[in-house]
Structure 1
Amino acid sequence: MTNLYCSQGHQNPHNSKFCLQCGEKIVENPVISGIQPGQTLGDRYVIIRQIGQGGFGRTYLAEDINRFREACVLKEFSPQVQTPYVVQKAEELFQREASVLYKLQHPQIPRFRELLRLNLQGKESLFLVQDHVDGETYNSLLNIRQQQGLKFTETEVRQLLQQILPVLEYIHSVGVIHRDISPDNLMLRSEDQSPVLIDFGGVKQVAATVASQYYQTGAITSPPSGTLLGKIGFAPPEQMQTGVVSTHSDLYALAVTMLVLLTGKQPQELIDTYNLSWQWRREVTLSPALGQIIDKMLSPLAGDRYQTARQLLQALNPQPVSYPQNSNPLSSIPTPPPPLRNCRFFSSQNP
């Protein structure tokens, strides 16, 4: 029997009506309008199946026949407006973003392979080709748990922070801001149970810039530094209002992600829309230390947050006070002199 897949690429038994992992209704014989399974792109990538669809194109699981049929992912960017100028500028912007992704070499980031440009049925398309991560997004894992009446525990969230913060420290050190951290963009890799950071927002920023500028002005320029991007509720206020991002922007989104995993609630359900204050304590009880850390990560004032992943790691792992070997921590306190016994005091006037 043939397995069935939802739009997120989750595998289900052939008679499934709803996805066992995310609950999405499954269409048994969907009308496929994209690239067909078995089709080879660029004389190299054999399409296995479509695993996702977004506003700017589809995402496919494929095999790289030039690399022993390794699994990889092709993320399509197919502008609705097709003119030579649009295609040219889109490719220039994607080349720029791809050059950034190419520099990222970390075991918890899917390796960028290449930027692929193809003409499919008279339509220009661009594909970002990356390594495939065999695993589940944390959003899918949360959905599975909620079906069982469970959520993530504080211990699990602490472990996730310990494992993903070094990744953020790395990308920030090379000048890259993710811009779009959420449970959808964190995956738990099956082979080693490590969290993996996927779907860098810079790629989406390029796509959004190409589309919005063309539709508004009919022309495309270089992407401004303040291009609005980010998921509502996950991105900090300044990112949604001005588009300006920094390292603490990713830490804010990471805090929201942790709260979603802990509570099973979406950000809009955890924030008071009247005064825009977070009310997560009504949903979950955490240790005072972790609660204070999350509150600081979520500060509405950017300057009041942790500014770097290293600072946050140090807050999670406070160093105990250590003393030199064989020393007494109280040795610095002056020792009072012993009481005087059998002593005679003499005046200078005495002979």
Structure 2
Amino acid sequence: MGKKLSYPIFFDTICLELSLCRVFRRPVAPSAKRYVIQAILSRSSFGITYLARNIYLPGQPLCVVKKLAPKFNDPQLVTIARAQFELEALTLSRLGTHAQIPTLLDYFELGSDRYLVEEYIPGFVLAQTIQQQQPFTATQVENFLVQMLRLLEYIHSHHLIHRDLKPQNIILCQTDRRFVLLDFGSVKDLDAAKSSSGDRTISDASRSIGTSGFAPPEQLANRAVYASDIYALGMTCICLLAGKEPSQLPVDLKTCELIWADNVDICTDLSQIISKMTQISLADRYHSATQVLAALENRTIRAKLRTYLDRKYAVSTTDRIESPAVVHWALGIATTD
């Protein structure tokens, strides 16, 4: 074991383990020399995530460096972890540049280690609001929902299912208030699944991909569909509204659904949309992000209708007629009147 080194710490001089700082004795890839570690962002059983600076670019911008470092010795599990790590890099490359997805900046190997470098998003992880018991308002959740649904439309248009959407994987950017989705190492590529011709894929080897409380039954059975991401997004909305994890919420023993709407400040139509997103049965759930966006848009139209009729004609709640024909008629009057 070599002597402990002080900052700056370079990829080509140490193994990135800040506690050990072991000096390498072998050649390194040129790209590894670019990054200087600033701090450890997180640790998991799969590896370590660092905050770093790219010293080869003007201004030495911050970036996120992920190191694959499995804490298990099972050869099969290590193989799966490596495949998922590479899958994340391939997925980010495939999705290209999008405001709500971190941009892939680099991917390289250093000896037996693998590294992925992506854009740094300044902000806070949504899980912090739950931990600090600072729930979102209904208005904030609706804004979040619209942003994330548009993102899911984009991801699903590439025939990808995220499969791990949850507050821990979403950052609220502090500069422009956009929500950014992280961790694409668990995605399901529907194109690859079709072309595999029955071969055993990495997802087949990891049947429990997803997080308990956010993954719907069909996903836990390795049959994830686009609606599986809709379920996870709906559960995330519930957690943000309630300020609690799914495991902390009461459950209806007859339907196995969470009991949450009565304990949060939310209007009936929005709670109905979120409830439909989180139905246990696929048949009762929205099938696509586009369907949920349409429901939200219809809700907005109805709200405009109610406001217009209340102000123009003082129509009582019991006398309202909200058929599609009346909605479009009143909306047309409201926008031209």
- The normalised TM-score by structure 2 is 0.71
Contact 1:201 1:229 in 2 (8 A): no
- The structural deviation recorded for 1:83 is 10
1:130-209 counterparts in 2 under 5 A?
A: 130-144=118-132, 146=133, 150-202=134-186
Indicate how the Cα distance of structure 1 residues 271 and 247 shifts in structure 2: closer, same or farther if over 3 A, else same: farther
Matching residue within 55, 68, 76 for 1:65? 55
The corresponding residue for 2:238 is 259
Looking at structure 2, the residues matched to 85 and 237 of structure 1 have their Cα atoms a distance apart, in angstroms, of 25
Structure 1 pair 138–324 and aligned structure 2 pair: CA distance change class (3 A): closer
The Cα offsets for residues 115-166 of structure 1, whole Å up to 9 and x where unpaired, read as 22113xxxx211221111100011123444x2xxx42111110111112211
Out of 235, 238, 241, the position equivalent to 2:215 is: 235
Supply the distance in 2 between the matched residues of 1:325 and 1:188 (Cα, whole angstroms): 34
Give the match for residue 19 of structure 2.
Answer: 33
Deviation of 1:324 (Å): 12
1:207-226 equivalence runs, <5 A: 222-225=201-204
The one-letter code sitting in structure 2 at the alignment partner of 1:250 is D
Aligned residues: 270
Whole-Å separation in 1 of the counterparts to 2:218 and 2:162:
15
Matched-pair contact (CA < 8 Å) for 2:169–2:181: yes
CA contact (8 A) 1:57 1:77 kept: yes
Counterparts of 1:99 and 1:63 in 2: how far apart (Å)? 23
Q: Which of 99, 102, 115 is 1:110 aligned to? A: 102
Q: Given the alignment of the two structures, is residue 48 of structure 1 paired with residue 59 of structure 2, yes or no?
A: no
Which residue matches 2:195? none
Distance, in Å, in 1 between the alignment partners of 2:279 and 2:331 is: 41
TM-score w.r.t. structure 1 length? 0.68
Unaligned segments of structure 1, at least 5 residues: 1-30, 207-220, 328-351
| Range 243-252 or range 315-324, more displaced | 315-324
Q: Distance in 1 between matches of 2:212 and 2:81?
A: 26
Q: Distance in 1 between matches of 2:332 and 2:65?
A: 60
Hey, what's the Cα distance between the residues in 2 that align with 1:34 and 1:245?
41
* 2:261 is the alignment partner of 1:296: no
Letter paired with 2:113: S
Q: Name the amino acid aligned to 2:238.
A: L
| Residues 90 and 118 of structure 1: CA distance in aligned 2, closer, same or farther (over 3 Å) | farther
Task: State the distance in 1 between where 2:21 and 2:212 align.
Answer: 31
- Asked if the contact 2:68/2:82 (under 8 Å) is kept, the reply is no
- The counterpart of 2:223, out of the listed 208, 233, 244, is 244
> Is contact 2:170–2:179 with CA below 8 Å preserved after alignment?
yes
Q: Given residue 127 of structure 1, which amino acid in structure 2 is its aligned partner?
A: Y
- 1:106 CA displacement: 0.7
Q: 1:246 to 1:85 in 2, by over 3 A?
A: closer
Distance 1:311 1:325 in 2: 21
Unaligned 5+ residue runs, structure 2?
1-16, 23-29, 190-199, 303-326
Tell which structure's C-alpha radius of gyration is larger: 1
Q: Which among 307, 312, 318 is matched to residue 287 of structure 2?
A: 307
1:127 matched to 2:115: yes
Cα 1:229–1:83 shift into 2, 3 Å = closer
**Paired-residue identity, %:** 36
Partners of 2:85 and 2:185 within 8 A in 1: no
Equivalent residues of 1:256, 1:267 under 8 A apart: yes
The alignment's C-alpha RMSD in Å is 3.2
CA distance in 2, matches of 1:74, 1:259: 31
State the secondary structure of the residue aligned to 2:105: strand
Instruction: Rate the CA distance shift 1:274–1:298 in 2: closer, same or farther, 3 A.
Output: same
Alignment of 1:77 onto 2:56:
no
SS in 1 for 2:186: helix
1:65 shift after superposition: 2.0
